[in-house]
Amino acid sequence: MSHKSIAIDGPAGAGKSTLARQLAKELGFLYVDTGAIYRTVALAVLRAGADPADPAQVVPLLEGMNIQMGYGGDGVQRMGLGPEDVTEAIREHRISGAASKVSAIPAVRAFLLDYQRGLSRAHDIVMDGRDIGTVVLPNADVKIFLTAAPEARARRRLLELEQRGQEADFGAILHDIKERDFQDEHRPVAPLKRAEDAALLDTTNLNLEQSCDRLLSLIKEKIGL
Ligand code: DC
């Protein structure tokens, strides 16, 4: 039996991970946060003392990188690097920019592609990222592109960081978000863009519950649940 897949793409802070997690829970599907995988690569690169923007330094590190992905008893996706659980470490602010840089390297994307596709063959999944509907799962049953104004996304990120007890500044976050959008949208390989057949949802003026309701009805209509 083939598995169902739901692809959710969009820029940082549009609500992808919160919504994807919630949808997966409602549908009984596995949630796969692909950004966490890129973040783990970025962490490994920084720890090796390499420049995340330089393919000549990053590519030789890939083969020896022991990246693990699994799920805790609470169903939360956990990332490992060798024996170490790095689920929290990859959320540090410096990792965001480094992840965006390593993700622009074609060899890094190729390295992670089969792994991501394999997950969709083994499970019913909700997978979020930047190129899921366009590159990773072009035949996904449902494709969604989430967006929101940069200011709304920066506000959400600020709240998220504050809730984790990390210090943050709105102006700096907004600046980073715009810079990351630019990098992610303008890289030559698998740039962030809406797949032609993806449904667009702008969450600027929607709360979580409203966004989730809209997406659930869309998904149920498409896959006939
Ligand atoms: O969603 P996130 O902020 O955790 O993602 C971190 C970086 O990884 C982001 O700047 C772009 C990159 N990324 C990507 O290129 N492709 C994906 N499918 C997921 C993330």
Measure Cα distances from 207 to 8, 15, 145, 173 in Å: 17, 10, 16, 21
Residue 223: CB atoms within 10 A of its CB come to 14
- Give the C-alpha separation, 159 to 195, whole Å: 30
pTM above 0.75, yes or no: yes
100 lines ligand 1 (CB under 6 A): yes
Pocket test for ligand 1, best of 18, 34, 38 (most atoms within 8 A of CB): 38
pLDDT tens, residue by residue, 16-61: 999 999 999 999 999 999 999 999 999 999 999 999 999 999 999 9
What pLDDT is attached to residue 146?
Answer: 96
Pairing type for strands 142-147 and 125-129 reads unpaired
Q: Does the beta carbon of 147 lie inside 6 Å of ligand 1?
A: no
The reported pLDDT for the residue numbered 49 is: 98
Is 93 a residue whose pLDDT tops 90? no
Q: Is the CB of 9 under 6 A from ligand 1?
A: no
11 lines ligand 1 (CB under 6 A): no
142 and 20 Cβ atoms separated by less than 8 Å: no
Model pLDDT, residue 41: 98
Q: What is the Cα gyration radius of the chain?
A: 17
